[in-house]
Amino acid sequence: MSLWEYANPKKFMQVSAGVLPWVVGLTGLCLVVGLVWGFFFTPDDYKQGSTVKILFVHVPTAMMAINAWVMMLVASLIWLVRRHHVSALAAKAAAPVGLTFTAIALVTGAFWGQPMWGTWWAWDPRLTAFLILALFYLGYMALWQAVEDPDTAADLTAVLCMVGSVFAVLSRYAVKFWNQGLHQDSTILKVGEKDPLDVAYYLPLLVCIAGFVLLFVALVLIRTRTEIRARRLSALQARERIA
Amino acid sequence: MIALLIRDLRLAFRAGGGFGLGLAFFLLVAVLVPLGVGPEGATLAKIAPGILWVGALLACLLSLDRIFALDFEDGSLDLLATSPIPLEGVVAIKALAHWLVTGLPLTLAAPVLGVLLNLPGPGYLWLVVSLAAGTPALSVIGAFGAALTVGIKRGGLLLSLLVLPLYVPTLIFGAEVVKRGAAGADVSVPLLLLAGITAGALALLPFAAAAAIRVNLR
Amino acid sequence: MELVVENLSVARGGLTVLEGVSFSLAAGQALILRGPNGVGKTTLLRTLAGLQPAVTGSVSAPPESLTYAAHADGLKAVLTVEENLQFWAAIHGVGGVAQAMAQMNLTELRARRAANLSAGQKRRLGLARLLVTGRSVWVLDEPTVSLDVASVALFAGVVRAHLAAGGMALIATHIDLGLTEAGVLELAPYKAKTPVATGGFDEAFT
């Protein structure tokens, strides 16, 4: 039995219907545990006070904002190579979720930046790169909306996603070059180096990251199922028109 | 392929619009910005590199939707797709034609507008050099965007939404070259990066654009 | 030199419209495609011309031998008759512009811009383009729209000369071109019985 069997819409619907309640339940569990633990049972930072705890939302959403695009890129490539409709629809379904994560990361970043840096917004390379990422999401979604024929739309958006990925990476390095920035480097993987993330934050953050990854999976599954149903509906309507 | 280039240039000249409009738009940007910002020479000199690059970029954007839309509507694109010329070549030639009627005149006119914006002396050379190196990328990225939206009625706004994020690296490095040049600093790093982006876009995007056109012709 | 179409199915808007179309065409032969509106003539011709993929089946033709002409003529309004033809001749790397104009009775209009031509004259110019492609298989979608009786006869003569020179023609048309030697393919029997969506999507549920 090959992995590609799950690309069959019917098979996908069956399997995802079984998996979805578990994913949703696990998402809720991880998010509640991680966020409650992070917000109420961790010490305040000696410098940043309780403001620092926004990281439990900010860091996972920022990670997922990028990972969602990577997932869309992989799904687009699978569509272009193997022509599995579920893959194209999953990419379509992931875009608004990715955009929402990007927006949450930007907004929580602004709430964090205001007391720390004294400004809601700075043209910092990381912030700018996320803003540009949001524009890529918008363009991708707008192209899906504008093209009527679903297969044509899937092809065009897949090509856009590939080209956009290259330019998104280029933009990331271009804005780094353009401004050195206020934003600290990521500290999650700095265990054992200087200025690491405090151990007290580490575990709840990991739980939160797991929660947001699961949230993304759950939302994409639900949205993909909706897209499949919509495609099925229009296929039935088209068949009825002809008969 | 030369025939296609000659035809596109001839159409651009006879139909008017095309390159006159882009230049006029560029001029308007250079006139409106001082009216909005104020006449202080020091302020203008500081923002001149960025304004000139943004102006050139927007002027370039204006005529993008004409690259393929007219040929799509009158059926020429169908006929070109069945002709001996590969579609990738058609895209490359059309991007070249677009550059010749917009990018090149913008590059040549930019120093004059630099005077209006009080661009510091050493910046002029680098303004022309950076536009010459960067505007071909604007044309070929634009051709890719135009290829994606060719089948869409009134796709002009969507085209801008798709193309502008793709213009970010070119804009950053292009404006940086002028900024550093105007300040008398070393420009080699951003200039090489700019040229690299242009070379990469010229090499790869015609293939992506041709794929998009094939999808849109189905 | 032969065009062979085997068991071809074509789709429009994700729905199969024609299935099991098979025919072959040898040098010097023409085939008229007939069928009611919406049966899929244009879709079939675009598939043959390589502009869209077939659902199933195969089209085998000598490489670079087909040329396509449809409702849109691909003419540029600001170019003259002669310039329009010269462009397509240059694209295909062949000559014969003057002869093509003579054959389609356009020589007197050579310096006139396409914008100032009547609908029928434009159509004649669009068909004259076929003569400067050097391609042997003409795939024509309603070539006689807006042509008067004399021009239809003129065009039929051009097609006949093309066939006599070893060419082939596939013509979707409703009117009688007077090409008595051409075969006729009625498309209605090939209408897809089960209009399922393509790409293994719709049927995956059933």
| Residues of A whose CB is below 8 A from C196 | 239
Nearest neighbour of C92 by CB, restricted to B2, B84, B217: B84
**Cβ(B198)–Cβ(B141) below 8 Å:** no
Minimum mean pLDDT range among A162-176, B3-17, C187-201: C187-201
Exposed/middle/buried for residue C103 (C-beta within 10 Å: 0-12, 13-18, 19+): buried
User: Which among A143, A162, A174 is the nearest to B168, CB-wise?
Assistant: A174
pLDDT at A179: 74
**What average pLDDT score do residues B4-24 get?**
80
Q: Is the pLDDT of residue A208 over 90?
A: yes
Q: Which is nearest to A183 in space by CA: A91, A121, A94, A92?
A: A121
pLDDT of residue A195: 57
Question: How many CB atoms are closer than 10 A to CB B74?
Answer: 17
**C129: chain B residues, CB-CB within 8 Å:** 79
Work out the minimum CA distance from B15 to partner chain A, whole angstroms. 29
Contacts of B164 in chain A (CB under 8 A): 135
A130: confidence class by pLDDT, cuts 50, 70, 90: very high
Helix (H) or strand (E) segment spanning residue C139: strand C137-141
pLDDT of B161-217, one tens digit each? 999 999 999 999 999 999 989 888 888 889 999 999 999 999 999 999 999 999 998
| Rounded Cα distance, C48 and B109, in Å | 48
Whole-number pLDDT of residue B13: 81
pLDDT exceeds cutoff 50 at C154: yes
B217 in contact with C, Cβ within 8 Å: yes
Instruction: Tell me which residue in B144, B190, B193 faces A163 most closely, judged by beta carbons.
Output: B144
**Per-residue pLDDT tens for C16-39?**
888 888 888 888 888 888 888 888
**B75 and C66 in contact by Cβ < 8 A?**
no
CB contact under 8 A, C15 and A242: yes
Instruction: Tell me if A238 and C201 make a contact (CB, 8 A cut-off).
Output: no
Tell me the whole-structure pTM to 2 decimals.
0.90
Provide the pLDDT confidence category of residue C205 given band limits of 50, 70 and 90: very low
Mean pLDDT rounded to a whole number for chain C: 84
- For residue A83, the chain C residues in CB contact (below 8 A) are 199
CA distances to A219, C8, C36 from C190, rounded to whole Å, are 44, 10, 12
Amino acid type, C88: W
The string of DSSP codes covering C42-85 is HHHHHHHTTSS--SEEEEE--TT-EEEE-SS----TTSBHHHHH
Dist. CA A83–CA A216, nearest whole Å: 24
CA distance B85 to chain A (A): 22
Smallest CA–CA distance, residue A80 to chain C, in Å, is 13
What does the domain layout of chain A look like in residue ranges?
A: 21-40+51-123+197-242
- Give all strands of the β-sheet with C15-26 in edge-to-edge order: C15-26, C2-12, C56-60
Taking CB atoms and an 8 Å limit, are A174 and B169 in contact across chains?
Answer: yes
Residue A158 CA, chain-centre distance (Å), reads 17
pLDDT of A54: 86
Chain C residue numbers touching B4 (CB-CB < 8 A)? 87, 91
Average pLDDT over residues A19-32: 94
**What is the pLDDT at residue C203?**
45
Going across the sheet that includes C183-186, the strands are C66-69, C137-141, C168-172, C30-34, C183-186
- State whether residue C191 is helix, strand or coil: strand
Least confident of A73-77, B84-88, C188-192: C188-192
Most confident range, picked from B97-111, C24-38, C69-83: B97-111
pLDDT greater than 90 at residue A102:
yes
Which pLDDT score is estimated for A238? 73
Tell me if residue C30 falls in helix, strand or coil: strand
Q: Decide if B158 and A146 are in contact by the 8 Å CB cutoff.
A: yes
**What does the pLDDT look like over A49-96, one tens digit per residue?**
777 888 899 999 999 999 999 999 999 999 999 888 889 999 999 999
The shortest C-alpha distance from B162 to chain A (Å) reads: 5
Q: C22: part of which helix (H) or strand (E)? A: strand C15-26
The top-scoring range by mean pLDDT among A172-181, B96-105, C115-124 is B96-105
CA-based Rg of chain B, rounded to a whole angstrom? 18
What mean pLDDT is predicted for residues A110-130? 84
Confidence of residue C199 (pLDDT cuts 50, 70, 90): very low
Cβ–Cβ contact C189 with A under 8 A:
no
Higher pLDDT among residues A14 and A45, named by residue = A14
Would the pLDDT of C196 be above 60? no
Residue C15: its pLDDT value, please?
77
Instruction: Reply yes or no on whether the pLDDT at A139 is more than 90.
Output: yes
Q: What is the pLDDT of residues A227-240, one digit of tens each?
A: 988 888 887 777 77
Select from A10, A151, A238 the Cβ nearest to the Cβ of C199: A151
Cβ C187 vs Cβ C9: under 8 Å? no
* pLDDT tens per residue, range A164-204: 999 999 998 888 888 765 566 666 655 555 556 677 788 88
Residue A46 has pLDDT above 80, yes or no: no
Distance CA C92, CA B85 (A): 8
Residue C174's pLDDT is what?
A: 82
Enumerate chain A positions whose Cβ falls within 8 A of a Cβ in C.
Answer: 8-10, 83, 85, 149-151, 231-232, 235-236, 238-239, 242-243
Name the minimum distance, in Å, from the CA of B82 to any CA of chain A: 20
**pLDDT over threshold 80, residue C160:** yes
Q: What percent of chain A has pLDDT over 90?
A: 50
Say whether pLDDT at C200 is over 60.
Answer: no
Between B and C, how many CB-CB pairs are < 8 A? 70
Of C51, C71, C72, the CB nearest to B218: C51
Q: Which has the higher per-residue pLDDT, C141 or C15?
A: C141
A158: left (phi over 0), alpha (psi -120 to 50) or beta: alpha
Assess whether pLDDT exceeds 90 at residue B20: no
Between A157 and A151, the higher pLDDT residue = A157
Beta bridge partner(s), residue B147 = none
Q: Cβ contact (<8 Å) for C15 and A238?
A: yes
Instruction: Please determine, for residue B16, whether its predicted confidence score (pLDDT) is greater than 70.
Output: no
3-state secondary structure chain B: CHHHHHHHHHHHHHHCCHHHHHHHHHHHHHHHHHHHHCCCHHHHHHHHHHHHHHHHHHHHHHCCCHHHHHHHHCCHHHHHHCCCCCHHHHHHHHHHHHHHHHHHHHHHHHHHHHHHCCCCCCHHHHHHHHHHHHHHHHHHHHHHHHHHCCCCCCCHHHHHHHHHHHCHHHHHHHHHHHHHHHCCCCCHHHHHHHHHHHHHHHHHHHHHHHHHHHHHHC
Which is nearest to C198 in space by CA: C74, C67, C18, C58? C18
**Spatial separation of the C-alpha atoms in residues A44 and B84, rounded to whole Å:** 70
Dist. CA B55–CA C192, nearest whole Å: 55
Average pLDDT, chain B: 90
User: C114 near C84, Cβ under 8 Å?
Assistant: yes
Q: In the predicted model, is pLDDT for residue B90 greater than 90?
A: yes
Do the strands C30-34 and C168-172 form a parallel or antiparallel pair, or are they unpaired?
Answer: parallel
Distances (CA, A) of A171 to A125, A132, A143, B192, C145: 10, 8, 21, 16, 52
Among B14-23, B72-81, C71-80, the minimum mean pLDDT is found in: B14-23
Of residues C198, C61, C176, the one with CA closest to residue A238? C198
Residue C142, helix vs strand vs coil? coil
Q: Look at A89-98, C81-90, C182-191 and tell me which has the smallest mean pLDDT.
A: C182-191
Provide ipTM, 2 decimals: 0.90
Q: Does C204 touch chain A (CB under 8 A)?
A: yes
Q: What is the structure's pLDDT at C206? A: 40
Could you read off the pLDDT of B105-116 as tens digits, one per residue?
999 999 999 999
Residues of C within 8 A of B76 (CB-CB) are: 72, 74, 76
Distance from the A125 Cα atom to the nearest Cα atom in chain B, whole angstroms: 12
Q: Count other C-beta atoms under 10 Å from residue B82's C-beta.
A: 21
Average pLDDT along chain A = 86
Q: How confident is the model at residue C93 (pLDDT cuts 50, 70, 90)?
A: confident
User: Is C11's pLDDT higher than 90?
Assistant: no
Asked if the Cβ–Cβ distance from C51 to B82 is below 8 Å, we say yes
pLDDT per residue as tens digits for the range B138-172: 999 999 999 999 988 878 889 999 999 999 999 99
Residue B169 has a pLDDT of 93
Distances (CA, A) of A20 to A206, A215, A224: 22, 11, 12
Which pLDDT tens digit goes with each residue over A140-149? Answer: 999 999 998 8
